[in-house]
Amino acid sequence: METWNWLIATHAIAAGYVLVLGPMNIFRRAKDRVHKAIGFTWIGAMYYLCISSFWIQTDGGFTWLHGLSAFTLLTVTLGLVSAIRGKIQAHRGNMIGSYLGTVIAFVFAILAPGRRIPLLFSEQPDTLAFASLLVLATSAALFFTFRSLFRKVPVEEAAVA
């Protein structure tokens, strides 16, 4: 398998969105429409991250990370269903657990020898910096766009419009 290809690159970008958007929703005070919009974006990135991982394999085949991907698909889906059903504690537990599992997998992916992420740090730091800034900038743009789209209009402003 070549060092980088489109699947691994998009998998890494999805991981970046999962890692950045997760805390945006976890630590926000208001659980409002912005939370829901960022959450759906995060779920989409998480599903892509997990599903794409099944096509990324070493010579030995599947690893424990693939098992974690399957488990994460289940917990993210349970978290979504829990939110729809109004079971907020279950939603919170599944989503935070899924996020923490992703962080742990990311740390192991960085530390494991022969993985592509450490190679990116050492061989292409400019590419890593660019991709990281791109993910951060687009995540911030998503947040501020959602916030402005879903902001509450005071009654006085609504009456004038």
Domain count, the chain: 1
Q: 90: domain range?
A: 6-160
Residue 1 located in a structural domain? no
Distance from C-alpha of 11 to C-alpha of 104, rounded to nearest angstrom: 16
C-alpha triplet 41, 43, 76: angle, nearest 5°: 165
- Residue 1 pLDDT: 40
Residue with tokens 């990116």: 120
Other Cβ atoms closer than 10 A to 110 = 12
- Of 69-78, 115-124, 127-136, the poorest mean pLDDT is in 115-124
- pTM of the model as a whole: 0.80
DSSP bridge partners of 61: 58
Q: What is the 3-state secondary structure (H, E, C) of the chain?
A: CCCCCHHHHHHHHHHHHHHHHHHHHHCCCCCCHHHHHHHHHHHHHHHHHHHHHCCCCECCECCHHHHHHHHHHHHHHHHHHHHHCCCHHHHHHHHHHHHHHHHHHHHHHHHCCCCHHHHHHHHCHHHHHHHHHHHHHHHHHHHHHHHHHCCCCCHHHHHHC
Distance from C-alpha of 99 to C-alpha of 76, rounded to nearest angstrom: 9
Segment 68-86, tens digit of pLDDT: 999 999 999 999 999 999 9
Tokens found for residue 68: 């974690």
Segment 86-112, tens digit of pLDDT: 999 999 999 999 999 999 988 888 887
